[in-house]
Chain A
Amino acid sequence: MLLDQNIAQMVLDHALSRGADFAELFIEKTNIQRTTILGQKVHEIQGGIDFGLGVRMIYGHRVLYGYTNIPTSEELLKIVTLISEREKSDRKRNIKNFILAPTTDIHPIISPLGAGPDIDVKIAYLFEIDKAARSVDGAVNQVTALSLEKKQRIEIFNTEGLHSTDNRNYTRIVASSVAEKEGEQSTGYEGPGALAGFEFTKSIDPKELGTMVAEQALIKLDAAPCPAGKMPVIVDNGFGGVIFHEACGHLLETTSVQKKASVFWDKLDQEIANPVVSAVDDGTITNQWGSINIDDEGMPTQKTQLIKNGKLNSFLVDKIGAMRTGYERTGSGRRQNYRFAPASRMRNTYIEAGKDTFQDMISSIDKGIYCKSMGGGSVQPGTGEFNFSAQESYLIENGKITRPLKSATLIGTGPEVLKQISMVADDLKLAAGMCGSVSGLIPTTVGQPALKIDEILVGGQA
């Protein structure tokens, strides 16, 4: 246990006596280790411990939040008093009993940080990535390979008597390369990750990963400027799902829906996408990067069908979102750490597989772009305007992929682009990413099969 139950009781009783309708304590201890290979040497090994406690008090629909590193009753009582300074109440309500809700661990771990292999083993793995990337071509002149491991222990108490704990182990491998030819430079990047211990790396062949990032950089060296303007685009499977994440996912979080600051806030049960589009947000996929056992409000996670055959089926709902919109909670309350109050956030979000084939989609385009590898993106929920970057793209001419193109940004609005998706392939793939929003930076998975967008604005240079 990270916090004495008696202290939790005392603090939450105090919160109730200050008139709060609901109060919650979130305690976190997180160990982090990052090992970096750069310039064919062990560049850095960093590590440390994050520890802190967050107190949330809800009055009606208002949220008061405070946090500290000091786990004493005096400090926590002080924070409750401070954040509720303006609240007047002489109510005396006590929590009856905490009931420890057993957390079902649906994401088994073999080698968590601290009980996994020695640093030597991790270093050797990273060197294999470096060696593979450099052996592809002499033009590859720099490689970075790093492993990031995180062990997060959380404990939650709330005034409804809930007491939950969970352990989350994350491992991510990041590889990047720089290639140089005749004064031109380019980069390649991949960053697979899982809610798992270092055993996750057994599923990632370091030679393949190194080769992949090297080839990505080399292809871009010879790339032509990307055409500019509106055109059909095929977005490949895997990290291509960032388009749905930005164009739609954020707009379905009650964080923006509850303020009517999402263009989809009043569109439940209405057709918001082409009928070929069905999408889910699923926290239960075993060991997937965006998975969880329980959310950061202590609710078991679940699979949420967001869109079914083009119709909006559900939002992503946290506790405050449920209170404000009336929708059922979906186990989507997430936060980066104890410094943030939870908010409705995505987990593993993807467009489900369709019936088309990748080749059918390519053949259907006379002139357009095939985006093989995507970078990040962002969205403005109020208007639905989104953007994302295509890191590795190819020109499609007369139904064939012809030549590589330099990177470009694609922009549009959520409602428009969802209707422009006309073909969805049968090759669903997921990919790890980091998502930043109101409750901080959290691991999320994006995913999709390859899909065709009939028309989107491509910001190329040609």
Chain B
Amino acid sequence: MEKYKSIVEEVLSITKKKGVQADCILDTNSVLSLKSEDQELAEHKVSSSLVLGVRVIKENKIGTSYSESWDKESLNDMVNEAIDFSKYTKVEPLEKIDLKRADFLDGTISKIFQEDDTSLQEKIDFTYALESEVKKIDKSVKSTPYNNFSQNEGQRIYGNHLGTFCGQKSRTFSCYTSALIERDGQQSMHYHANIGRQFKDLSLADVARESYFHADKLLGAKAIATGDYDIIFTTDELSDLFGCFSSLFSGKAAMNNLNPWKDKLGKQLADSSFSMIDNPTLDSAYYYAPFDDEGHITKECTLFDKGKLNTFYHNSVTSKHFKTENTFHGSRSPRGTLSVTGTNKIIQPCSSTDEMVKKDKYFEVIKMQGLHSGADSISGNFSFGASGYLKEGDEIIQAVSGITVSGNFFSLLKEIKDIGNVTHGTTSLDFFSPIIRFAGLRIAGA
């Protein structure tokens, strides 16, 4: 980490000579990516990259620039470009780089960066198995066209002109596979992924079984009649839906008049059973973010409390704008400007058992298509293609595909029928939620 810290220090020494406030973020990343096709490596990718970005403040105006080269000339050019850009931007009196902390904050803990002595051959064998494990479940598996094993090692260093520095290293393993099933002239495909901090965290059996299970069940799935249905999303799909509307939680979007909830703080926007927090250092979560991208030490915040909007995600600028507390969710990539972002989101459990939430007929959404293009975070409207199961309890009445689900996110939050008492995590372990049953969403089908 020292080597990269010194590059950040070099950038800051250039900005110091130019007499500007500045901070600098440096990211490194190295990736191993493998794909298998017919038990041969169809892809073997190895990479290493570095990008660093500077933010300068001169006469209350902000400029940013980034570079993927770090020789002296490139660093100078980058700083000069940022200063040049700052001449043209609006005066932003609230944006300051003023965090001063003497000690280097190292956010690397054993949970997110563990030694790995797995050989390349073991990883390649694992990749082959992503194919063979699915195929050996059933001969109707025509192929596993999409499969991948990845290992990713990243590093982030933050530094500012006041000598505040923090850094973090992380190591991630992930894999996915798919099952493309063909039977009686019909085709069906499903993917499943796994993520972990150690190679041994990846479960071959899990990705193979889940890919096959849903591809098999959804083969020959048919549309259900157009009408209003109670809906339960899997945790992964619910996370994706909330992800499309993430700007509703953004203090920056609110400040920029691009958040329809901008004047709704303290208002009852959801059913009173709905509470949601954000915890950057949640023990059971995959992500661990002890500092934000302004260098501040992070903390938990409550976004929704019993249906009332409690706060937005804030950084040092948006919190000053709204004259409220900073939630320390400042976010900036080396290539970007200061914004905000969420970390680990947790919807709080209620008292109903899963069995109670799932009683009577409902549609379980397993897969959504076109959610991002079909969701409008300003109007709240969404419409997406879906497949899943018409269920009663845990019993599948009918496998369903070729339908659309439409609604409005603002209404959805008010139409919560029931919330379970057990929290489930997404595949990526950054969103946790009990089972939630939403009332009466419109399905267009047969």
Contacts and interface: CB of A to CB of B under 8 A. Distances in A.
Interface of A: 35, 38-39, 41-52, 60-70, 79, 82-83, 85-86, 119-120, 123, 141-142, 144, 178, 184-187, 220, 226, 228-229, 256, 259-261, 263, 339, 341, 375-378, 380, 382-383, 385-389, 406-409, 411, 457-462
A378 B370 CA distance: 6
A48 B67 contact: yes
Contacts of B69: 49, 51, 69
Contacts of A339: 47, 49
Given A187-B379, A341-B45, A387 B444 contact: no
Contact of A411 (B50, B63, B78, B385): B385
Given A38-B256, A44-B62, A462-B442, 20 more contacts: A45-B64, A46-B337, A62-B44, A63-B44, A69-B69, A86-B120, A141-B257, A228-B443, A341-B43, A341-B45, A375-B373, A382-B178, A387-B373, A387-B374, A406-B381, A407-B379, A408-B406, A411-B404, A457-B223, A459-B403
Nearest to A82: B46
The 3 closest A-B pairs by CB, nearest first: A459-B404, A387-B370, A228-B444
Contacts of A66: 45-47
Nearest to B218: A383
5 contacts: A46-B335, A69-B49, A220-B379, A378-B373, A386-B369
Interface string B269-298: 000000000000000000000000000000
Nearest to A84: B44
A407 B63 CA distance: 37
Interface in B306-347: 335-337
A389 B145 contact: no
Interface stretch (B10-18, B84-92, B418-426): B84-92
B417 interface: no
A409 B374 contact: yes
For B40, B146, B256, B444, the residue with the greatest tally of chain A CB atoms inside 10 Å of its CB is B444
A175 B46 CA distance: 38
A63 B406 CA distance: 42
A265 to B, nearest CB: 11
Nearest to B375: A389
Contacts of B189: 380, 382-383
Contact of A39 (B187, B257, B372): B257
Given A259-B143, A387-B385, A459-B385, A46 B85 contact: yes
A260 B37 CA distance: 12
A83 to B, nearest CB: 5
B66 interface: yes
B145 A259 contact: yes
Contact of A387 (B42, B142, B335, B369): B369
B50 A69 contact: yes
Contact of B43 (A50, A63, A407, A457): A63
A144 B258 CA distance: 10
B376 interface: yes
B46 A83 contact: yes
A144 B406 CA distance: 27
Instruction: Tell me which of B46, B81, B336 has the highest count of chain A C-beta atoms within 10 A of its own C-beta.
Output: B46
Contacts of B46: 65-66, 79, 82-83
B143 A380 contact: no
Interface of B: 37, 40-51, 53, 62-69, 74, 77-78, 81, 85, 88-90, 120-121, 124, 142-143, 145-146, 178, 180, 187-189, 223, 226, 256-258, 260, 335-337, 369-370, 372-374, 376, 378-379, 381, 383-385, 401-408, 442-445
A378 B369 CA distance: 7
Contact of B374 (A35, A61, A67, A375): A375
Contacts of A178: 257-258, 378
B64 A411 contact: no
Nearest to A179: B378
Nearest to B37: A259
A178 B254 CA distance: 13
A46 B376 contact: no
Contacts of B51: 69
A141 B90 CA distance: 19
Nearest to B372: A376
Contacts of B376: 186-187, 407
Contact of A383 (B40, B188, B256, B373): B188
A46 B384 contact: no
A184 B379 contact: yes
Contacts of B89: 42-45
A235 B62 CA distance: 43
Contact of B385 (A38, A46, A187, A409): A409
Contacts of A388: 370, 373
A141 B401 CA distance: 40
Contacts of B143: 259-261
Nearest to B52: A48
Nearest to B87: A119
A380 B178 CA distance: 12
A395 to B, nearest CB: 15
B65 A46 contact: yes
A123 B74 CA distance: 26
Contacts of A83: 44-46
A261 B141 CA distance: 12
Given A406-B381, A457-B444, A46 B336 contact: yes
A142 B377 CA distance: 14
Contacts of B257: 39, 141-142, 178
Contacts of A387: 369-370, 373-374, 384-385, 404
Nearest to A381: B145
A143 B77 CA distance: 32
A378 B372 CA distance: 9
B439 to A, nearest CB: 14
Interface centre among B189, B385, B408 (most CB of A within 10 A): B385
B31 to A, nearest CB: 9
A406 B381 CA distance: 8
A390 B374 CA distance: 8
A407 B383 contact: yes
A48 B47 contact: no
Contacts of B64: 44-47
Given A375-B374, A376-B373, A387-B374, A457 B404 contact: yes
Contacts of B121: 86
Contacts of B124: 86
A39 B326 CA distance: 23
A385 B379 contact: no
A383 to B, nearest CB: 5
B120 to A, nearest CB: 6
A71 to B, nearest CB: 9
Contacts of A186: 376, 378-379
A50 to B, nearest CB: 5
Contacts of A462: 442
Nearest to B53: A48
Nearest to A31: B81
B88 A119 contact: yes
A63 B42 contact: yes
